[in-house]
Structures are given as C-alpha cells and as structure tokens.
Amino acid sequence: MKGGCMIWGLGIVVALVAALWLFWTFRYPTYSYNFRMTVAIETPDGVKSGSSVYSVSAGGRPKLTAEEASRSMAVKGEAVAVDLPDGKTLFALLKTNAHFGDMSGLSMTALDPTFKSSRYDTVGTARRISERIGVKESAEVSLSDYPILVTFANINDPKSIERVESADLAATFGDQVKFKSIVVEITDDPVTTGLKKRFSWWSDVKGSFVRFDLQNRPPAGTELPFGTRITKTAFSAGVDK
C-alpha cells in the first residue's frame, strides 16, 4: 500500500511538471533559426570570401519586475575570416552596427521586411524566419548594419588588433581592395566552428585584448586603444571548439 501511494504521488508530480512545461512552452515560445553570412572582398587577385553559420534564438519570458525585459535572445557562432593577399586576414566580428549591435539584429533586419515596422519584435521575426513565412531566403546586408571589421598587424599578438573601415579597405589592405558584398541566407547547416585554431594565444587571453595596469594607465581623457573594447566574445559566442 505504501509503495502504491509513493508511485501515485510520483505520478502527480510528473503530471504537474509536464503541465507546467506545456504551459510555459505555449505562453513563452522560443524560436530558432540558422543563417549563413558570406563576406566577399574584391582584390587584385580576384574576389576573396569567407562565411560563417550562426544560430539565433528568441523567446518570451515573464517579467518579475517592471524594468526586466520580456524577451530573451541568444546568438551562437564565430566571426567571419576572409584571407586576403599578402597573408592578411579580415575578420567580421559578432559585434555589428545593426539594431541590438549583434548578429540577431543584423540578420532580422536583412531577412524580415517587417522587422522594423513591428517595432523590432524579435520573437515574431524569429518565428517567421524559422518557418520561412513572409521573409527573404537571402538578402544583402545594408552598409549601415555591417559587422565591426578588424585585422591584426601580427596575428600572433592580440594587442595588435586594428579596426578596419568598411568604406576604405584600401587604407589597410592596399590599393584595389574593396567590399563587394555581405550576404545572409537562411540555412539548415550547423553552426561554424574552428576559428579559435587561428589564434595561438586564444586560451591565454582573459578580458580585453589590450589592458593597462594602474601604473601604466593613460591619463584621463586620453583615447584608449581599440583593443581595450574588444574581448573574445566578439569573435566567438556559444561555440566550444
């Protein structure tokens, strides 16, 4: 009898957990999609390109306070690397100039024509892209939404990171080097991995690429190097390999 009561009680707990899960899933759905971003650069040696696949998820969640957001988003993926002539490499980071400043805003703006008019409804847009309803299968990214672009004077030294201006690639990479396009497209391919293998220093860097101790910190008002604002999360997020 006692064993029967325990099984009965366990069944009630399982049923309650299942009911709670169903309620949560219905009330606060999460939608995910993968997209590929391809960066194409014109060079004296022809067009050079690189691409990376990202995963974006967006869902609702309860607001416990008035200030708390009612939406959650996550992006997984790695920066795009484009190998250029003379051994140089251009990296298009996960940080962007698009809404939200990341790959979710970049992809949603490019692929969903109603994203802006819907007041940046991330959950609705993620649903439409994941279900391929009323969205573009592929689209060119607007210049105003481009990712932050960087290169390294010395690929073996993270402190040598430099920002690259999209409108003037020639200033960094030489004459006749310029943008051709950045295109995003919905895909079922898995998230790209392996970028970390390009950097011998990856496991050694903690925090920003350029750091100062208290004794060597520049005077107040001095513009700090670009590398002080960049961490490894700009190159890789949610990817273990």
pLDDT means per 10 residues, the chain with 241 residues, are 58 52 55 98 98 94 47 92 97 97 97 95 96 98 97 97 97 96 98 97 95 72 86 95 73
Is the CB of residue 65 less than 8 Å from the CB of residue 52? no
In one-letter notation, the amino acid at residue 183 is: V
In one-letter notation, the amino acid at residue 29 is: P
DSSP-assigned beta bridge partners for residue 164: 149
Burial class (CB in 10 A: 0-12, 13-18, 19+), 209: buried
**pLDDT score of 63:** 47
DSSP-assigned beta bridge partners for residue 47: 42
What is the edge-to-edge ordering of all strands in the sheet holding 147-152?
Answer: 80-83, 89-96, 147-152, 161-164
Sequence-separated (6 or more) residues with CB below 8 Å from residue 223: none
**pLDDT score of 81:** 98
